[in-house]
């Protein structure tokens, strides 16, 4: 059932968020595919375990245990690799900043990039790559995804009603700690659901939109308005990169506990499978001398 759930989750994300996933870097956009692959492996493994126990087949039980041990070893290897890679904090921050900048800079020209930017800003509640002013539109307003009050325009004058955290800082915090536990698989999914405004903050829209407005994605309210007024101060001041970075830090303990629990269950399953297979073999040998 867990395998089927992972396959279903991967397929749903691939279908529902395909455009947003395509806008992500390859290393972040493969999460749905990995979910499908892992789900298939889990399903096949469970099949060998269940059928082997029911049919009392030492061969199937041994295969089940070997697959579990292989998965465990791969998980440990990926965890070590992710931990080593995450030590390059500067490189991680640069990659996040580059991705967010490339995506946010296409906000006015690419619909896919616009949707991705809006999703990031909404989930992380940030605005702009480095500063919320980057998201200022030509009429002086900010995108709705930068505004704390969904459905209403907002302007940068009132900091109490906008997200001021740069998306660049949010993204770095989100990715760094999660990668230490699961390597980035969950990150690809989480990035799709973030909320903030601009890679470094909403100020980055200032040089592109001279009407003092921000894209709708910078405004928390999800109604008809596509922009929000900056003077109203009802927008996210937080940069998406910083918010993403912080989000991962807060999620790491939970993700780590889940990962450790899964590894323990795999070891227990492999051990019990080998014990049962050995017991069946011994019982068969004793029956020959009975």
pLDDT tens figures, 96-124: 778 788 888 888 788 878 887 888 877 77
Is 161 within the bounds of a domain?
A: yes
Flag whether 158 is in a domain: yes
Over 60: is that where the pLDDT of 61 sits?
yes
28 within some domain: yes
Question: Which residue did the predictor score with more confidence, 73 or 169?
Answer: 73
Q: Is residue 290 part of a domain?
A: no
Other Cβ atoms less than 10 A from the Cβ of 284: the count is: 11
Per the CB < 8 A criterion, the answer to whether 205 and 129 are in contact is: no
Can you read off the two tokens belonging to residue 153?
């325009």
Number of separate domains in the chain: 1
Q: Residue 218's beta-bridge partner residues?
A: 145
Residue 136 belongs to some domain of the structure:
yes
Residue 288 falls inside a structural domain: no
2 token code pair? 């867990």
Residue 286: inside a domain: no
Measuring CA to CA, which residue among 152, 151, 147 is closest to residue 164? Answer: 147
pLDDT at 191: 40
Q: Does any domain span residue 154?
A: yes
3-state secondary structure at position 139: coil
Tell me the residue range of the domain where 213 lies. Answer: 2-281
Question: Residue 222 class from Cβ within 10 Å (0-12 exposed, 13-18 middle, 19+ buried)?
Answer: middle
**Residue 68 phi, psi dihedral angles, 5° rounding:** -60, -45
What Å distances lie between residue 235 and 137, 171, 218, CA to CA?
A: 13, 18, 6
User: Which of residues 62 and 198 earns the better pLDDT score?
Assistant: 62
Q: CB-based contacts of 210: which residues, under 8 Å, 6+ apart?
A: 136, 138, 140
């Amino acid at each position: 059932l867990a395998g089927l759930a992972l396959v279903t989750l991967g397929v749903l994300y691939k279908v529902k968020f395909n455009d947003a996933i395509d806008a992500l870097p390859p290393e972040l956009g493969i999460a749905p595919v990995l979910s499908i692959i892992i789900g298939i492996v889990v399903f096949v493994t469970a099949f060998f375990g269940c059928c082997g126990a029911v049919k009392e087949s030492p061969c199937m039980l041994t295969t089940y245990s070997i697959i579990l041990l292989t998965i465990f070893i791969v998980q440990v290897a990926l965890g070590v690799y992710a931990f080593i890679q995450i030590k390059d904090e500067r490189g991680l921050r640069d990659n996040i900043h580059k991705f967010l900048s490339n995506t946010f800079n296409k906000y006015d020209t690419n619909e896919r990039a616009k949707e991705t930017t809006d999703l990031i800003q909404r989930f992380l509640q940030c605005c702009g790559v480095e500063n919320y002013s980057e998201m200022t539109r030509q009429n002086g307003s900010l995108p709705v995804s930068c505004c704390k009050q969904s459905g209403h325009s907002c302007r940068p004058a009132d900091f109490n009603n906008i997200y001021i955290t740069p998306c660049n800082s949010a993204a770095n915090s989100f990715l760094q700690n999660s990668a230490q536990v699961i390597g980035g698989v969950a990150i690809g999914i989480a990035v799709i659901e973030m909320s903030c405004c601009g890679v470094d903050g909403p100020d980055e829209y200032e040089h592109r939109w001279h009407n003092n407005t921000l894209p709708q994605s910078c405004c928390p309210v999800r109604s008809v308005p596509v922009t929000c007024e900056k003077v109203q101060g009802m927008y996210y001041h937080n940069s998406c990169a910083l918010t993403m970075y912080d989000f991962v830090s807060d999620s790491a303990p939970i993700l780590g506990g889940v990962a450790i629990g899964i590894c323990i269950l795999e070891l227990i399953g492999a051990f019990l499978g080998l014990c049962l297979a050995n017991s069946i073999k011994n019982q068969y040998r004793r029956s020959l001398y009975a």
